[in-house]
Every structure is written in C-alpha cells, then in structure tokens.
Amino acid sequence: MKNTTSLSEFYAQIKSDNPHIATDQLGHFNVFEIEKVHKRMADSPEMPYNKRTYFKISLIKGSNKLEYADKTLAIEKYGLLFATPKIPYNYNPTSDEQSGFFCVFTHDFLGGEKMDTLPVFRQEAIPVFEITKEDYTRLSAIFKKMQAELISEYEYRYDLLRNYVLELVHNGQKLMPKRPKVGTFTASKRIVNLFIELLERQFPIDNPQQRLHLRKAEDYASRLAIHTNHLNKTLKEETSFNTKQFINLRIAQEAKTLLLETDWPIATIAECLAFEETSHFSNFFKKQIGESPMKFRSALIV
C-alpha cells in the first residue's frame, strides 16, 4: 500500500494520455470530464484510499459515497468536493451514471502561502457539499471555460486558469458554515481554538522520522500558559471532552490514516505517535477502535 499518489501515478490510474497539457514554471494544472474518466476506469471504478500530492476540485453529478478523513458522507445528485494532500479520501461511485468535471493542481500553482490561508483547504475542514441543480449548471460553466483556456494560445492563460480555480474556491467557501466573529469569542472559546490549533499543527504525519512533541495535557497547558486543570475544565465545558480524550481521539484518527495509507511497520507508526513501546500503541488502538492495529490493517488488505 503506497504512502502517496504522485501526479504521474494519478495519470496512469485514470489512463490519461495527455498528462502535461498545462504545466508552467509555477506549477501544474489540468481539468477532466468525470464521465470520460469513469468509462476508462470501468474495470476498477473505486478510487484508492491514500494521500495525494496534489489538490483536486470535483463537480459531481451522480450518486457517490465519500470517506473523508474519519467521516463517511453521501452525495445523492450534485456535489462539490475539495481534496487536499493533507487529508486522504475515498471516492466511490454508487450509481452507473457519473458526470461532471474535476481539476487537479499542485501546491505551487496558486502559490503555497495563498493555499495555506484558504479555509476550504484547512486541516479541520470537511469540504464536501451537496449543491442544487442550478449551482451545478453555474459551476459547470467555469470548468468549461478552463477546458477552453487549456487549448488556447493566450499568453496569460495560466493567470486566467488560476482565477477560475479561485472562483471555484470562493464558491465552495460560501457553502461552509459561518464562523463566529472574533468579537463573539469568549475567553473559553479562545482557549479551545488555540488548543485545537496546537493539536492540529502536529498533523498529518508525513514521514517515518516525524514525531509528536505535544503528547500530554500538561504539554498543551504549558504552551498555553494555563494550568492543566483549567484547560481540562474549559475543554469539558465547551466540547464535552477533556484534554486527554481530545488528544487520544486525534491520535487514533491519525493512526487509522497511517494504517490505511502507508506500509510502515506498526512499530514505526507507534514511534511517530510518541508511544514508547509498540505494545502500548496496540493497547491504545484496541481501546479506541475496538481491534488491534494489525487486525485493522489486515481487514483492509483482504
């Protein structure tokens, strides 16, 4: 089981014979029609669950099931999906009729700093949206403009393509739940947000040498310059989870992801997640998930 899917692997997977139609010095971009790709992959329509090295925006017409991070979501008729290299997902069509569009692009295409500030691509986002038929028609027009621009001779077509991508991004962000204004945050909510930010900064685990440095409630309380009891009380009141439960849930989620998408030894995953002994990790995982890491992984391979 591979850790990542590169662009070359992606093109081989969808059986595309035109992988470099839109590559410039600032990154790679391409756009596809889902119906054509779906037909080429008719013998194996299910997309593998892994972490990709590129971003993807999909406009979907058809019934689909999406496993995004630790959530399972369904699209009945029309959907808009934003995928990032940070979070793996599994896209499984559940109806024969599949159409729409998707575009793929690298981190550099829009500029790395810009990408990291867009809410729809943040680690905590679950950007899968059901949309109306009218929305689908309107967004389809953007993808058709992309297709036309790819084969044009316009000198600044890459700038125009970036604008189209950003237009899709902003349409997606309009569909996201509204965030409360800064002025409405209480001191407790600020503590919760800062805690979650510290927690999420440690993920995803991208290589076997990476280690968690903040592992205990005391570690986070120290960084936040508050007492551990105060952090526990605040989290419990605001989220119904105490600090240890919060940390354990996030570590368990990452453990599942690593078991799903990498072929790293279980001992290596245990080290990455700051467990002193593999047996400690196995006991933790079984308590959180209900089965051992080895059994969890072997069930997916069969």
Q: Where are the domains of the chain?
A: 4-174, 182-301
Q: Quick check: 99 pLDDT over 50?
A: yes
Q: What is the pLDDT of residues 136-147, one digit of tens each?
A: 999 999 999 999
pLDDT of residue 42: 60
pLDDT of residue 52: 67
Q: Quick check: bond before 93 cis, omega within 30?
A: no
pLDDT of residue 226: 92
Q: What is the mean pLDDT of residues 190-216?
A: 89
- Tell me how far apart the alpha carbons of residues 80 and 64 are, in angstroms, rounded to a whole number: 11
pLDDT of residue 144: 96
Which of 19-28, 100-109, 181-190 bottoms out in mean pLDDT, i.e. has the lowest? 19-28
Q: Which residues of 83-110 are buried (b: 16+ CB within 10 A; e: fewer)?
A: bbbbbbbebebeeeebebbbbbbbbebb
What is the separation of C-alpha 59 from the centre of its chain, rounded to a whole number of angstroms?
A: 16
Highest mean pLDDT pick, 95-109, 115-129, 202-216, 268-282: 268-282
Q: What is the pLDDT of residues 18-34, one digit of tens each?
A: 544 555 556 789 999 98
- Tell me how far apart the alpha carbons of residues 299 and 162 are, in angstroms, rounded to a whole number: 41
pLDDT of residue 181: 52
Q: What is the mean pLDDT of residues 216-232?
A: 93
Packing angle between helix 157-174 and helix 133-150, nearest 10 degrees?
Answer: 160
Does the predicted TM-score (pTM) go above 0.85?
no
Nearest to 289 by CA among 91, 87, 70: 70
Pick the CATH number of 182-301 from 4.10.410.60, 3.40.50.300, 1.10.10.60, 3.40.50.740: 1.10.10.60
Q: Quick check: 44 pLDDT over 80?
A: no
Q: Quick check: 175 pLDDT over 50?
A: yes
Which of 23-27, 118-122, 238-242, 265-269 bottoms out in mean pLDDT, i.e. has the lowest? 23-27
Q: pLDDT confidence of 101, banded at 50, 70, 90?
A: very high
Residue 263: how many CB atoms within 10 A of its CB?
Answer: 12
pLDDT of residue 3: 44
pLDDT of residue 16: 64
Which of 16-30, 39-53, 282-296 bottoms out in mean pLDDT, i.e. has the lowest? 39-53
The CATH fold assigned to 4-174 is Jelly Rolls (2.60.120)
Is the separation of the CB atoms in 199 and 250 below 8 Å? yes
Q: What is the mean pLDDT of residues 295-299?
A: 87
Look up residue 169 and give its amino acid: V
- How high is the mean pLDDT of the chain? 83
